């Protein structure tokens, strides 16, 4: 579990235009710069909202990250359905 690294990755993509561009060009290569478990890396690369949320990613990091991936409010809500 490396929630700090996972959130750091998302924070960089959300907030730093240069890093966002590097991420967009090659997500798999970009994510190697962070110390993530296989499950975390997979959830991040798949933009698996439910998994990332369940891992504890802060909602105000996660929602902007999913907006970058054009996820609608409805699909975001659907991904979190029946979670605490």
Q: What is the DSSP letter of 67?
A: H
Q: CB-wise, 25 or 82, nearer to other proteins?
A: 82
Residues 19-78 that bind other proteins (CB under 8 A): 53, 58-64, 67, 76-77
Q: CB-wise, 32 or 58, nearer to other proteins?
A: 58
Q: Among the candidate windows 3-11, 19-27, 28-36, 40-48, which touches other proteins by CB under 8 A?
A: 3-11
Across 38-66, b (16+ Cβ under 10 Å) vs e yields eebbebbeebebebbbebebeeebbbebb
């Amino acid at each position: 579990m490396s929630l700090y690294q996972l959130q750091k990755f998302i924070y960089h993509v959300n907030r730093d235009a240069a890093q966002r561009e590097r991420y967009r060009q090659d997500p798999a290569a970009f994510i190697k710069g962070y110390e993530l478990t296989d499950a975390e890396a997979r959830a991040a690369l798949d933009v698996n909202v439910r998994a990332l949320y369940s891992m504890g990613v802060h909602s105000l990091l996660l929602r902007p990250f999913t907006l970058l991936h054009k996820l609608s409010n409805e699909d975001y809500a659907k991904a979190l359905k029946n979670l605490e």
